[in-house]
Structure 1
Amino acid sequence: MTFQDYFPIWNKLQTDQQDRIRSNLNFRTVKKGTILHNGDMDCTGLLLVKAGQLRAYILSDEGREITIYRLFDRDLCLFSASCIMRSIQFEVTIQAEKDTDLWVIPAEVYQDIMETSAPVANYTNELMASRFSEVMWLMEQVMWKSLDKRVAAFLLEEASIEGSSVLKITHEAIANHLGTHREVITRMLRYFQSEGMVRLSRGMVRLLDEDRLRQLQD
């Protein structure tokens, strides 16, 4: 499968626009843990995931992380080219959660095409609106949902992503996703364990009662 098969509006581009993207496109293979984009001073370019998993997160003034969205196969990341979107006022870090194959479209190339192509501009606006909807959803979760519900929802989401009830994840990683402290997550998971919903071991959480976790997240 080539880039053309993954870029959803490829056939709506003019031939010269397709040629320009092809000649400037970079293919990268990155290891789990690699930081691909680091804040608004870094204009990496647009990232299109071929295979793997990326995480977009923001940092508080105290250095706490919170995940705002994740990217999977065929997902395109705009925030990694924040320099072409002047209205973005918060710094986003993009990190590989798994070994990932991806393409990088240079920001200036995409911006030039976006300014002359209505299909690209429309697609970009739709994608931006979708990402901001995810950010707004996250804000609602943080503001209005109790942490036990958020932890239960995260564990179920992670199990769905991994296709397994055995999650190889640390308490600190969960805390980073949810924007809280590791000690708070540890207490919550121990409560879940005492209630028979999970079993904990070093670097691992096993889901024992997903039905109760679903009831809790609601």
Structure 2
Amino acid sequence: MHKLEDYLPFWEKLNKEEQTLLKDNCKTVNYKKGSHVYSASEECLGVLVILKGSLRTYILSDEGREVTLYNLYENDVCVLSASCVLSQITFDVFVDAREDCSLLLISPAAFSSVMKTNVYAENFMLRITAERFSDTMWAMQQILFMGFDKRLAIYLLDEMNRKNTNVIKTTHGDIAKEIGSAREVVSRMLKSFAEDGVVSINRGAVEIINKKYLQNLVRNQ
């Protein structure tokens, strides 16, 4: 049984009425891998706490190119799905399930009400928003100023460390979405890595053979 208080660090700063309001307006929702969760053009969904799985937040160009801003993992809180709670959020973003997900969904009306009466809840939301902005700036810095081979190396190392395996189950198209590129570009670079003995390309998976090469690429370029 997942308890809301285990995921909100300001819980002890809430009074009984505020705690009850959040508990009474919280439910568990599930999404399959690849499912659409939220976009800014839709009705405000609410604050999401990730119990299991991961979410991808991205923007979409007029040409249909997806640029990943950041990913969220277990115990993270998604605030852009509650953009109506924070009036400062005015840009269009999309949120999809990277993996099968189990989430706690807190009603935007309930959370907004608590924010108006409790400075700790408000500060939490502002801090999380600032962290996500920092993540977004890092993503933009990678796209604008880093070579593609380094961006791909960072992605492969991050996924290897997160999943604790050197076999990353993904497609070239999914990698392209994650790092803001085209599938053909990803395929060419992976082929180059494979020719150098850095990775092995399999159907629906990439196996990292030479981790040190990728680490040196990230460190030295």
Say whether the fold is shared (TM-score over 0.5): yes
Mapped to 1, the partners of 2:106 and 2:154 lie a distance apart of 34
**Contact (CA 8 Å) 1:197, 1:207: kept in 2 or not?**
yes
Identify the residue that residue 129 of structure 1 maps to in structure 2: 130
> Unaligned regions of 5+ residues in structure 1, if any?
none
Give the 3-state SS of the residue equivalent to 1:98 in structure 2. Answer: coil
User: Paired residues, what number?
Assistant: 218
Is 1:173 matched with 2:164?
A: no
1:50 positional shift: 1.3
> Normalising by structure 1, what TM-score?
0.96
Identify the residue that residue 88 of structure 2 maps to in structure 1: 87
1:189 positional shift: 0.5
Is 1:56 matched with 2:57?
A: yes
1:13-43 Cα deviation digits (max 9, x unpaired): 1110111111111111222122111224331
1:147-186 Cα deviation digits (max 9, x unpaired): 1100010011111111110011100000011111100111
- Quote the RMSD (CA, aligned, Å): 1.2
1:57 positional shift: 1.3
Identify the residue that residue 106 of structure 1 maps to in structure 2: 107
Residue identity opposite 2:27 in structure 1: N
1:123-161 Cα deviation digits (max 9, x unpaired): 111111111011111111111101110001001111111
1:115-126 equivalences in 2 (<5 Å): 115-126=116-127
**Contact (CA 8 Å) 1:40, 1:82: kept in 2 or not?**
no
Residue identity opposite 1:175 in structure 2: A
Give the percent of matched residue pairs that are identical in Structure 1 and Structure 2.
Answer: 37
Give the 3-state SS of the residue equivalent to 2:45 in structure 1. Answer: coil
Residue identity opposite 1:143 in structure 2: L
Identify the residue that residue 38 of structure 1 maps to in structure 2: 39
1:1-218 equivalences in 2 (<5 Å): 1-218=2-219
**Contact (CA 8 Å) 1:55, 1:96: kept in 2 or not?**
yes
Mapped to 1, the partners of 2:196 and 2:9 lie a distance apart of 46
Residue identity opposite 2:188 in structure 1: R
> Normalising by structure 2, what TM-score?
0.95
Residue identity opposite 1:211 in structure 2: K
> Unaligned regions of 5+ residues in structure 2, if any?
none
Greater shift in the superposed pair: 33-42 or 200-209: 33-42
Give the 3-state SS of the residue equivalent to 1:161 in structure 2. Answer: helix
1:95 positional shift: 1.3
**Contact (CA 8 Å) 1:148, 1:188: kept in 2 or not?**
yes
